[in-house]
Structure 1
Amino acid sequence: MIMLITPFLFFQAVFSMNSVVSRHVYARLIPLDNLRASETPSSINPSESMPDCTTVCAWDEACVAVMHHGDQCSIYRSSLSPSSVSLPGARCFIKQGALPHPDPCPVSQGYTSVLSPRMCYKLHMTMLSWTDSQARCESEGGRLIILNTDEKHAYILTQVAPYLATHIGLKVDGGSKTWTDGSTYVPGISHSFTAECGYMYDLSTRGYYCYWGRPFLCEIPV
């Protein structure tokens, strides 16, 4: 294994059991040094070193980024953004070429770019009505998030605190639950709607009055 470390790049050559060589370049995410990532990892594995951590990522086609801290390696299917939670000694790297280039997800504006399921989303903690939330998402080139597949629904449930109660792009139209793109499939447990505007709470989809202020999830379709 050959390594070259610079302040910004981490190069690694990974050798498989049959001596086939695959090369991966990992860019260090300096803004995340000593911080926990805002995103939740898809898995956490024991790892003695950063090279071991990136080796795990190299063999995982869905892996986009890694965080090494202590003897643990966290694997992510998305880009990473820093949280305000201190994690001394943590180092994060992103696998170059894992996400599309150029990436249509505006990561610099706080969006997370997810490889699997392919999507980009952003959690807004500002309390707005459903209508104002949709308008804010549209001003960023997106919409309130549409979770009309099992894969997207399951992924978002791992990323957002279950009791946050976020607006999503679902409404009641003529007695039927309808996403703003016209689709009607609602994965997971769906509770009765008190009123017409959808939100997520405690792993379920619910509805309440549109004027009620909540945090909200935007997505930019990809």
Structure 2
Amino acid sequence: MSSMESLSLTCKIIAVTCFVGMTTCSFQFNTKNFQLYRLWDMDDRMPPFSPVSPITCKEECAMICMSDVTCAAFSHGEYVRFCMVTPESVRPYDVSISNPLPGFTHYSLYEDIGEGILPPGYRTFNISKLALRFHYYWPRNWTDARDTCASEGGRLLTLDTEEKRQLLQDLITSNKELSTTGTGLYVGGMVNGTEFYWEDGTLLANSDPLWAASPAGTGNCTILDRDKGFRLVDGDCSLEQPYICEHLHFETQSTLPSVGRQSLT
């Protein structure tokens, strides 16, 4: 069997798994469950992103997105045969600046956590109650990053255990985009008075071993620094940086919009 025949068979198997007896397209990947949301306004349009790889079918494109910890949405060209995964869902602005491309379809990807779903781009991990999203495509200052996380039902990450720090190191070093985008990502610690606190009010002591070194006092916000062994440094809150949100899915959960919840067809 040729590689093209093998790929075609793979697409058919995934499609059958997705469509038989189902009105909504659901996928399972590495024990996680996902739902898709069709972006109808973008049909037959190409957003201002670059394609990443030639892919034969939409189903395989969906699997690529699910395997990428930064992927929030994906697009597929039926005729040009390529797949595009992106860290951000398409915005209304993107529709107005997109180019016509017949056969092009777009989907937001949601992880289904049982009683609800997470916003696009969030992934759960084996650490209890932890669901993360890496924002790197549009860097923000610390305040805007905090507000973006809040708008998604979460907050900037509370990095309070070595287990979390090691997870972040593994995720960042194994992802092409995260490992080459800047040297630091904002997390949720900020100075209040003379000491650092996480957004939930927990003290981040100057002696905490998660610091790369005792805070120098030159910055009021915390940054996870790749060049400092993936440990915390204090930095200037006005700098625009990538950032990490954690979703409070154990307190509040999202639901898919009622219009547009469709299969890949």
TM value normalised by structure 1: 0.55
CA contact (8 A) 1:129 1:212 kept: yes
Where structure 1 has 5 or more consecutive residues not aligned to the other structure, the ranges are 11-25, 41-81, 85-98
The secondary structure found in structure 2 opposite 1:132 is helix
Matches within 5 A, 1:1-222: 7-9=15-17, 27=28, 30=59, 31-33=61-63, 37-39=67-69, 100-106=113-119, 109-125=120-136, 126-160=138-172, 161=178, 164-185=183-204, 186=208, 188-191=210-213, 192-193=215-216, 194-202=218-226, 203-221=230-248, 222=250
CA contact (8 A) 1:171 1:198 kept: yes
**Which is strand-richer, 1 or 2?**
1
**Shift in Å, 1:136:** 0.9
Which amino acid in 1 is paired with 2:146? Q
Which amino acid in 2 is paired with 1:121? L
Aligned to 1:53: none
CA root-mean-square deviation = 3.3
How many angstroms apart in 2 are the aligned matches of 1:200 and 1:218?
13
Which amino acid in 1 is paired with 2:142? W
Which amino acid in 1 is paired with 2:67? A
**Shift in Å, 1:33:** 4.4
The one of the two structures with greater contact order (alpha-carbon pairs below 8 A, sep at least 6) is 2
**Shift in Å, 1:216:** 0.8
**Shift in Å, 1:118:** 3.0
**Identity over the aligned pairs, expressed in percent?**
23
Q: Given the superposition, is the C-alpha separation of residues 6 and 200 from structure 1 closer, same or farther in structure 2, using an over 3 Å criterion? A: closer
Where structure 2 has 5 or more consecutive residues not aligned to the other structure, the ranges are 1-12, 19-26, 35-58, 71-84, 88-111, 173-177, 251-265
Q: Given the superposition, is the C-alpha separation of residues 36 and 120 from structure 1 closer, same or farther in structure 2, using an over 3 Å criterion? A: closer
**Shift in Å, 1:209:** 1.4
How many angstroms apart in 2 are the aligned matches of 1:133 and 1:178?
16
How many angstroms apart in 1 are the aligned matches of 2:65 and 2:142?
32
Which amino acid in 1 is paired with 2:115? P
Q: Deviations 1:82-137 (Å, cap 9, x if unpaired)?
A: 579xxxxxxxxxxxxxx74124533xx11112233431111111121101110111
CA contact (8 A) 1:37 1:83 kept: no
